[in-house]
Amino acid sequence: MTRSLNGRTAIVTGAGSGIGRAIAIRLAEDTAKVAIWDINAAGAEETARMIRDAGGTAIAIDADCSDKAAIKAAADRTRAELGPVAILVNNAGIAPFTPFLDIDDDLFDKVIRINLRGPYLMTKEVLPDMLAAGWGRVINITSSSVQSGSFAQGHYVSSKGGLMGMTKALGLEYAASGVTFNMVPPGFIDTPMLRAAPIDADAFAQTLPMKRIGQPEDIAAACAYLASEEASYITGQTISTNGGRYMGSH
Provide the 3-class DSSP secondary structure of residue 61: strand
The answer to whether residues 13 and 37 touch, using CB atoms and an 8 Å cutoff, is: yes
Catalytic annotation, pick one of 120, 156, 233, 246: 156
Note if 156 is an active site residue.
Answer: yes
The answer to whether residues 30 and 5 touch, using CB atoms and an 8 Å cutoff, is: yes
Edge-to-edge strands, sheet with 9-13: 57-62, 33-38, 9-13, 85-90, 136-141, 179-184
DSSP 174-228: TTTTTEEEEEE-B-SB-SHHHHHSSS-HHHHHTTSTT-S-B-HHHHHHHHHHHHS
Phi-psi region of 209 (alpha: psi -120 to 50; beta: other; left: phi over 0): alpha
Residues marked as catalytic: 156
